[in-house]
Amino acid sequence: MAKSSKKQFKVQKSAKIILNPEFNLKINNSLWYGIMVVLMILSAIIPYYFIQYAFSINHYYSFPLDDPWIHLQFAKNLAEYGSFSYFKNEVVTSGSTSPLYTFILAAGFFFTKNEMWLSYITGILFFAVSVYFYFKLTHDVFAKENWLAIMASLLFVLEKWLNFISVTGMETTLYILLLVACYYYYRKMNAVLFAVTLGLTLWTRPDAIAFIIALAVDYIFRMYIIMRAPKENSGIRLFANKELIKIGIIFGAIILIYFAMNYFISGSLLPNTYGAKVKYYSAEFRSRADFLKVDVWEYFTESAYILIFIPFVFAVYKLLFDSVRLKYNSLLMPLIFIGGFIFMYWYQLPYAHRFGRYMMPLFPFYILLSVYGGREFFKWLGRYLNDTKLINGLNIILLASAIIYFAVVLNENKELYQDQSRHIYIRQVETAKWLKNNTPQGSIVATHDVGAIAFYSERKVIDVVGLINPEFIQKLNTKDFVGFVEEQIKKQNVNYLAFLKEWFQVVNQNPLFTAGENNFEIMNVYKYEPGKTHILSSEVNGGIEYVSKLLNTKQFKQAEGVLKQLIAMDPNSSLTYYLMAYSYSALGDQKSSEGNLKKALEIFPDYHDAAISLAVLYKTLNNRVEAQKTLETYISRNPGDSIAIKKLNEIRLSFPKDSSENQK
């Protein structure tokens, strides 16, 4: 009995040590570095798994975004021609959002010409190195609770969007690496490395301005509270004057070169992409309320994040509470950065782009504050309940649940990566390859997706949304934008157009090539013929998209009213008359349907769908002569249209011979 009691006492004593509010795992340096290496290896294996999973289904390598090929096009030309240009050594422009990333890819082209693996490897490498710095950062933050550093780092490694973006060919993981490293050096008061990494953040993305401002605000506040409450903040360090001078010189030189390069190339301090995206994705394009609701709130609270969001809220409360009491909290800077970053996008560019990629650089700091907030919450709860034995156990359960949840949704995210990589390939890449094989050398292509099309077609492209050609920026989102586009197309001797129909709709002309599926984001290539090629205005094209939704939900009367307005705005669109005919047919007004189909064919005699629909209408009205005449006229102009020929034969066979004689 005595032995049993002694054993029970040892267990209780051990539990008391483990459940202390602040405890460190007993890990020697070798094991500590071993954990770091394992995390870095894991951060390489998971993205590689994404790549191979996508390849096993798609049977080709691709990216889930078109933008990576913009970096690659600049990098290839920089390596081959020594020019920061978008076509050979022509079209010199500051069209890369991330010049630093472009320079790194250009260096990579001296070692390999495989653009896919060059992008994959650099993205994964930057992610792995960011894990290294994140592990060091969290160990610095949770110096007395190294198990929290491991938990936070594991959440970072398993974050679904960071793994996703690391193999998209984008600069995001390089940007995250620099943000994390810079904040780490800021905490360590390493003036030189802090200044270097801070300057390079701007070379990686223009929105690093929010990070730079956040650091400045944090440092000024740090000086202020030391002055106001020196006793309470006696242990807080500041840079020495000599160090501040070093920071100013190094950081100033780096950003001065950045601004000078952009200004020399394009006449602006920031890249073309900044101006084009701010102009295009303005509040008129996307409401600021929708941005906050969808791109911020829903993005950071959905599925796996729900377990870390509440601790994050508590961290916000704790940081604000400390600040009001003039007690400096070293994690205030990440909070300022998150708030300032979101505010900047809300005010200037309320759109987080596909997969919320503009918000992804916040995840390292979101996770860090969440783990901190969880620790502070359970410490508070332990004091409130007067029982500190529970707090670490509850925190371990919460973090372990979050890690498991992260792992589950991470595995599911590989399917999105595969699907979207396919989506881009069959639209942008296949279009580019068609252009290369079916257009003459020296052809000029106007498009709004300039990545894969420029890289693989080896044709000069005109970017009608201004990322590469800044002259288009001035007219973005204006009523006369399409008219300006047409003027520039003529002026710049464009031969072909490659447009997604949701962006620019060409009517009264059959495409030479079509790529896509499910009638969503269909890429069409047209031969540009001055005086014939007709591009719908943004208003009319938007109206057409709206009408399509009305027709899909069988709201034919409402569609009729909208179509009448669209015809008044543009009476030369065969597509509008065709959709009007469809609406009238559904409403049982065959005569009006016939009139609109005839009008569509009058404007565009080679309109396949209109010819077939009119012939079928005549067949329904038992008018064989007009049905045959419609198709025969169309086929005489399009003798290779096998569908129309088959339909003509069906119509001929559907009428008895005596019926034909009677009609004659």
410-447: pLDDT as tens digits: 998 999 999 999 999 999 999 999 999 999 999 999 99
- For residue 247, what is the enclosing H or E element? helix 241-266
Q: CA separation (Å) from 444 to 73, 89, 494? A: 16, 15, 5
Q: Cα(300)–Cα(303) distance, rounded to whole angstroms?
A: 9
pLDDT value at residue 368: 98
For residues 407 and 401, is the Cβ–Cβ distance under 8 A?
Answer: no
Could you read off the pLDDT of 146-168 as tens digits, one per residue?
999 999 999 999 999 999 999 99
For residues 240 and 136, is the Cβ–Cβ distance under 8 A?
Answer: no
The string over 206-219, giving b where at least 16 C-beta atoms fall within 10 Å of a residue's C-beta and e elsewhere, is bbbbbbbebbeebe
Neighbours of 412 (CB within 10 A): 11
- For residue 202, what is the enclosing H or E element? helix 191-204
For residues 342 and 336, is the Cβ–Cβ distance under 8 A?
Answer: no
Full DSSP string of 429-462: IHHHHHHHHHS-TT-EEEES--HHHHHHH-SEEE
The string over 75-112, giving b where at least 16 C-beta atoms fall within 10 Å of a residue's C-beta and e elsewhere, is bbbbbeeeebbbbeeebbbbbbbbbbbbbbbbebbeee
For residues 433 and 449, is the Cβ–Cβ distance under 8 A?
Answer: no
Q: Cα(449)–Cα(463) distance, rounded to whole angstroms?
A: 7
Per-residue pLDDT band for 476 (boundaries 50, 70, 90) equals: confident
Per-residue pLDDT band for 387 (boundaries 50, 70, 90) equals: low
Rg (CA), the chain: 31
| Mean pLDDT, rounded, for 249-262 | 95
Q: Which CATH number applies to 540-663: 1.25.40.10, 3.30.360.10, 3.20.20.70, 1.10.357.10?
A: 1.25.40.10
Q: Cα(219)–Cα(248) distance, rounded to whole angstroms?
A: 14
Q: Tell which residue, 216, 209, 347, has the closest CA to residue 282.
A: 347
Q: What order do you get walking across the sheet with 513-517 strand by strand? A: 460-463, 444-447, 496-500, 520-527, 513-517
pLDDT value at residue 656: 66
Q: Cα(480)–Cα(549) distance, rounded to whole angstroms?
A: 25
Q: Cα(343)–Cα(210) distance, rounded to whole angstroms?
A: 9
The string over 381-392, giving b where at least 16 C-beta atoms fall within 10 Å of a residue's C-beta and e elsewhere, is ebeeeeebeebb
Could you read off the pLDDT of 1-33 as tens digits, one per residue?
444 444 443 434 443 434 455 667 778 888 889
Q: Cα(594)–Cα(625) distance, rounded to whole angstroms?
A: 15
Q: What are phi and psi of 329, to 5 degrees?
A: -115, 125
| Mean pLDDT, rounded, for 494-510 | 94
Could you read off the pLDDT of 633-644 as tens digits, one per residue?
999 999 999 999
Domain extent listing, the chain: 22-421, 422-535, 540-663
- Indicate the burial class of 345 (C-beta count within 10 angstroms; 0-12, 13-18, 19 or more): buried
Tokens of 272: 């073309």
pTM equals 0.90
Residue 63 in 3-state DSSP? coil
- CA torsion angle 188 189 192 196 (round to 10): 70
| Mean pLDDT, rounded, for 203-223 | 96
For residues 104 and 129, is the Cβ–Cβ distance under 8 A?
Answer: no
Please give the mean pLDDT across all residues of the chain: 90
Q: What are phi and psi of 363, to 5 degrees?
A: -60, -40
Those residues whose C-beta lies under 8 Å from the C-beta of residue 590, and which sit 6 or more positions away, are 584, 617, 620, 621
The string over 437-471, giving b where at least 16 C-beta atoms fall within 10 Å of a residue's C-beta and e elsewhere, is eebeeebbbbbbbbbbbbbbbebbbbbbbbbbbbe
In the chain, the percentage of residues whose pLDDT exceeds 90 is: 73
- Indicate the burial class of 362 (C-beta count within 10 angstroms; 0-12, 13-18, 19 or more): buried
For residues 499 and 482, is the Cβ–Cβ distance under 8 A?
Answer: no
Q: Cα(97)–Cα(89) distance, rounded to whole angstroms?
A: 19
pLDDT value at residue 380: 85
The set of long-range contacts for 391-397, using a CB threshold of 8 Å and a minimum separation of 24, is 391/19, 391/21, 392/18, 392/19, 392/20, 392/21, 392/23, 393/19
Using the predicted structure, report yes or no on whether residue 144 has a pLDDT greater than 60: yes
Tokens of 94: 């500051």
Could you read off the pLDDT of 313-366 as tens digits, one per residue?
999 999 999 999 999 999 999 999 999 999 999 998 898 889 999 999 999 999
- For residue 514, what is the enclosing H or E element? strand 513-517
Q: What are phi and psi of 273, to 5 degrees?
A: -60, -35
**Token pair 């440092």: residue:** 219
* ∠ CA 415-418-423, rounded to 5°: 125
Q: Cα(276)–Cα(260) distance, rounded to whole angstroms?
A: 19
Using the predicted structure, report yes or no on whether residue 661 has a pLDDT greater than 90: no
